[in-house]
Amino acid sequence: VDLDAFITGLPKAELHLHIEGSLEPELMFALAGRNGLSLPYADVEAVRAAYAFSNLQDFLDIYYAGAAVLLTRQDFHDLAMAYFDRAVADGVVHAEIMFDPQTHTARGVPFAFVIEGLLSAMAEAQERHGITSALIMSFLRHLSEEEAFATLAEAESWLDRIAAVGLDSSEVGHPPEKFARVFAAAAAKGLKRVAHAGEEGPPAYVHAALDVLHVDRIDHGNRALEDADLVERLVGEGMTLTVCPLSNLKLCVVDTLDHHPIDRMLALGLHATVNSDDPAYFGGYVADNYRAIARARGLSRADLAQLARNSLTGSFLPADAVAAHL
Which residues fall in the annotated binding site? Answer: 16, 18, 196, 277-278
3-state secondary structure of 290: helix
Give the Cα separation of 308 and 7 in Å (integer): 9
User: Which residue from 12, 14, 21, 96 is in contact with ligand ES4, where contact means CB under 6 A?
Assistant: 21
Tell whether residue 247 is a contact of ligand ES4 (CB under 6 A): yes
Considering only residues 158-217, where is the footprint of ligand ES4 by CB under 6 A?
168-169, 196, 199
Q: How many residues does the chain have?
A: 326
User: Which residue from 7, 13, 18, 307 is in contact with ligand ES4, where contact means CB under 6 A?
Assistant: 18
- Select the binding partner of residue 203 from Zn ion, ligand ES4, none (C-beta < 5 to 8 A, by kind): none
Tell whether residue 20 is a contact of Zn ion (CB under 5 A): no
Q: Is 219 exposed, middle or buried (0-12, 13-18, 19+ CB in 10 A)?
A: buried
Sign of the CA dihedral running 294, 296, 300, 304: negative
Tell whether residue 90 is a contact of Zn ion (CB under 5 A): no
Q: Which residues are annotated as a binding site for Zn(2+)?
A: 16, 18, 196, 277
Residue 199 appears among annotated catalytic residues: yes
Q: For residue 97, give Cα distances in angstroms to 94, 157, 165, 261, 306.
A: 10, 19, 11, 24, 22
Tell whether residue 277 is a contact of Zn ion (CB under 5 A): yes
Minimum Å distance from CB 174 to ligand ES4? 10
Considering only residues 109-138, where is the footprint of ligand ES4 by CB under 6 A?
none
- Select the binding partner of residue 56 from Zn ion, ligand ES4, none (C-beta < 5 to 8 A, by kind): ligand ES4
CB 165 within 8 A of CB 136: yes
From the list 299, 276, 298, the residue with the least C-alpha distance to 287 is: 276
Q: For residue 20, give Cα distances in angstroms to 148, 232, 305, 323.
A: 18, 34, 28, 30
- Which residues contribute to the site for ligand ES4 (CB under 6 A)? 18, 21, 56, 63, 168-169, 196, 199, 247, 277-278
Catalytic (active-site) positions: 199
Which residues in this chain contact Zn ion in the complex, by CB under 5 A?
Answer: 277
